[in-house]
Amino acid sequence: MKKKDGASLLGLIDELQNQKQFQQLNWSGSFKEYLDIVAQNPQVTRNAFQRIYDMIMAYGYNEFEDAKKKLTRYNFFSDSRLGDEDAIFGLEIPLMRLVNFFQAASKGYGTEKRVLLLHGPVGSSKSTIVRRLKKGTEHYSQTDEGALYTFDWFIGELPETTPPEFYHTTAVKERNAEWEACPMHEDPLHLIPLYMREKFISQLNDGKAENEQIRIEGGLCPPCRYHLQELMRLYSGDWTKMIRHIRIRRLVFSEQDRIGIGTFQPKDEKNQDSTELTGDINYRKIAIYGSDSDPRAFNFDGEFNIANRGLIEFIEMLKLDVAFLYDLLGASQEHKIKSKKFAQTDIDEVILGHTNEPEYRRLENNEFMEALKDRTVRIDVPYITKLKDEIRIYERDFNRKRVLLHIAPHTLEMAAMWAVLTRLEEPKKANLTLLQKLKLYDGKMLPGFTEDNVKELRKGAMHEGMDGISPRYVQDKISNALVNYADGYINPFMVLNELESGLKNHPLITNDEERKRYRELLAVVKNEYTEIVKNEVQRAISSDEQAIKRLCSNYIDNIKAYTQREKVVNKFTGQAEEPDERLMRSIETKIDIPDSRKDDFRREIMNYIGALAIEGRTFDYKTNQRLLKALEMKLFEDQKDSIKLTSLVSRVIDRDTQEKIDVVKARLIKNFGYNEQSATDILNYVASIFARGDATDILNYVASIFARGDVNEA
């Protein structure tokens, strides 16, 4: 491998850099050039709500049905272009409500005058949704579709002629020092005086489609208003001369640079200061300008100011002091903020907040906050109640790219299963268990239940997902297991034991009854896992395709003779014998075919074979799932004894048996994702179950040993 030196690495950076994109994002020009851009692309004048809605829709969506309910999945919330670390899974309904909010706001139907409040339990993705919106807004402003512009003031002496390069940010350095940016990144069309706007907009919109119509809403911020008035006086009211002092430039949102995205986090009540939202006096400049009411002596850099044209996030919004919440009233309804010593200032931004259940209950019980409640649109963000979506959360954080330690199959699945079970309400149907309800929600079909039943279950549990265990708790315990068992691998029992041991100190579990319920659900998950691994070992033992074919052929020969009242020719003796009833029943009972139904089942198989023959097709046992399952179970039962799986427990294994066990182990590794160690332990675990005869009686004993990674002690 060629050794890299500094020169070659610099060369690589030179190849990777994109100067053309940099120049596009730092474009600047005159006001006339901006009007040309507006005429060609009216989208650059969109308000904050329109821009965010268009951003979400730009990523596309797909519609699907779930329990006979039409849902829409918006790709924006999981698109890998915005990173996988904060992708959102399984919250289609809350996200649909969120997008509907933006759609209505973008059309001016009223929700643009509301505070959007995400409400739900801790760890339910409220912050992740906001983070996704902020990241998407940054990225969208860098695209051609999401382009927007703002302006700077030239506060020096204007040259007699202003060539095009005068307005470029690449102009002479000393000239650049004389440009002053609008502190609130306003739309340049705000520079059009109010008395001119009606005719100007009428001319601009002439011939444009309805969805391309341009509107100018709001006025200039105090510093820009000051500069405009001073220049208008200088030029005796000649606006066309004043506008020569304006340089238009591309605006790119950045949370890090505090451009277009603001974040406000509550602090100690004694240290909260409203100037963090609306700006503060610059005392150093008072000495220069002589007054604290001069806009040049004020820093318009509060979170409301810098978030103009973008969005502002209020973290744990309802923990704010009441005085802060009053600022939200005007900001949401009138789109105005009040800075100290200045008149109300127009803003154009999405106000997003999030809070948890206790804080929201406090707001509901506060009769002095009726005005805020009336201006709030609440969207509930519950925990995930679909197993497959919960698994995706943990697979995102604990995958082979991030974790070097082997994670045995079903480890993340069992942790996710327990988490989802804690969030579900007990089913009201007497014949339905909580685990069965989980499976129905996950899209699995159970005998006696239809999609209508699933719909009824969800409708009867409206509060479902608002309580239970947070994904964060599960992630922490998986991390603990990875650290505690770093020498080998982790399996479901190790993680489940970590989950159980953490319950006694869980800060959000307030009573012993709840803690007891969570422990009982862990036992349910352990039982389910036992059935899963028993089935996998069974499939690994019985996955000899040639043996299944031979068994199937033998079964078909016998049921053919039985249904046609014939005899079967023994392949070894050549003698005609009665059909082997014992063989046929040993297969049929594996799939619960009662003795009274055996004739119907056998005729059904023969009719199916006959229909295939008429079509010129050959019967394949794989196409009949019930028969395949029965054959696998029968073969497993036969081979279980020949392999002597239970000899693993006694540690007395002959060479022939060991070779057979090694074959099964190889199948577990190849077909089911185990490694050498986890496959060995699974075989030991299942062997101990068969040795005792009853999995329930020995589950806790073996699980405790298995979780320590020393199954041989079993």
Residue 710, pLDDT above cutoff 70: no
Greatest mean pLDDT among 132-136, 177-181, 442-446: 132-136
Closest CA to 416 of 477, 458, 340, 352: 477
For the residues of 444-499, what is the DSSP string, one character each?
---TT--HHHHHHHHHT-TTTTSSS--HHHHHHHHHHHHHHTTTSEE-HHHHHHHH
Lowest mean pLDDT: which of 337-346, 542-551, 652-661? Answer: 652-661
| Confidence (pLDDT) at 171 | 53
For residues 424 and 434, the answer to whether their CB atoms sit within 8 Å is yes
Give the pairing of strands 28-29 and 179-181.
unpaired
CATH code assigned to 19-382: 3.40.50.300
Q: How confident is the model at residue 694 (pLDDT cuts 50, 70, 90)?
A: very low
For residues 381 and 119, the answer to whether their CB atoms sit within 8 Å is yes
Give percent of the chain above pLDDT 70.
91
Q: What is the pTM of this model?
A: 0.83
Higher pLDDT, 173 or 155: 155
Q: How confident is the model at residue 229 (pLDDT cuts 50, 70, 90)?
A: very high
Residue 709, pLDDT above cutoff 80: no
Q: How confident is the model at residue 713 (pLDDT cuts 50, 70, 90)?
A: very low
Residue 487, pLDDT above cutoff 60: yes
Cα→Cα distances 246→161, 187, 191, 224, 625, Å: 14, 12, 9, 11, 75
Token readout for 570 is: 């023994």
d(CA 139, CA 58) in angstroms, rounded, equals: 12
| Confidence (pLDDT) at 272 | 66
Q: What are phi and psi of 669, to 5 degrees?
A: -70, -45
Closest CA to 67 of 336, 451, 385, 378: 451
Residue 584, pLDDT above cutoff 60: yes
Cα–Cα–Cα angle for 414, 419, 420, rounded to 5 degrees: 100
Residue 680, pLDDT above cutoff 90: no
Q: What is the pLDDT of residues 106-137, one digit of tens each?
A: 999 999 999 999 999 988 999 999 999 999 99
Determine the average pLDDT of the residues in 334-340. 92
Query: What mean pLDDT is reported for the chain?
Result: 86
Contacts with 61 (C-beta within 8 Å, 6 or more apart), sequence order: 72, 73, 74, 75
Residue 692, pLDDT above cutoff 70: no
Determine the average pLDDT of the residues in 88-110. 94
For residues 288 and 297, the answer to whether their CB atoms sit within 8 Å is yes
d(CA 377, CA 374) in angstroms, rounded, equals: 8
Residue 363, pLDDT above cutoff 90: no
- Residue 254: DSSP 8-state: B
**Range 621-630 burial, b when 16+ CB lie within 10 A, else e:** beebeebbeb
Q: How confident is the model at residue 384 (pLDDT cuts 50, 70, 90)?
A: very high
Greatest mean pLDDT among 268-272, 525-529, 634-638: 525-529
Q: How confident is the model at residue 695 (pLDDT cuts 50, 70, 90)?
A: very low
Q: What are phi and psi of 586, to 5 degrees?
A: -65, -25
Determine the average pLDDT of the residues in 24-45. 93
Residue 696, pLDDT above cutoff 50: no
Residue 513, pLDDT above cutoff 70: yes
Greatest mean pLDDT among 509-513, 558-562, 662-666: 558-562
**Percentage helix, strand, coil for the chain under 3-state DSSP, each rounded to 5:** 55, 10, 35
Determine the average pLDDT of the residues in 644-666. 66
Helices 512-541 and 695-707: crossing angle, nearest 10°? Answer: 100
Higher pLDDT, 631 or 273: 631
Instruction: Give the domain ranges of the chain.
Output: 19-382
For residues 384 and 417, the answer to whether their CB atoms sit within 8 Å is no
For residues 396 and 85, the answer to whether their CB atoms sit within 8 Å is yes
Taking the CA atoms of residue 435, residue 440, residue 445 and residue 446 in that order, the dihedral angle to the nearest 10 degrees is 40
Q: What are phi and psi of 179, to 5 degrees?
A: -95, 135
Q: For residue 606, how many other CB atoms are within 10 A of its CB?
A: 17
Determine the average pLDDT of the residues in 505-512. 84
| Confidence (pLDDT) at 711 | 45
| Confidence (pLDDT) at 646 | 52
Lowest mean pLDDT: which of 104-113, 156-165, 236-245, 560-569? Answer: 156-165
Higher pLDDT, 624 or 219: 219
Q: What is the pLDDT of residues 46-56, one digit of tens each?
A: 999 999 999 99
| Confidence (pLDDT) at 621 | 76
Higher pLDDT, 576 or 58: 58
Residue 504, pLDDT above cutoff 80: yes
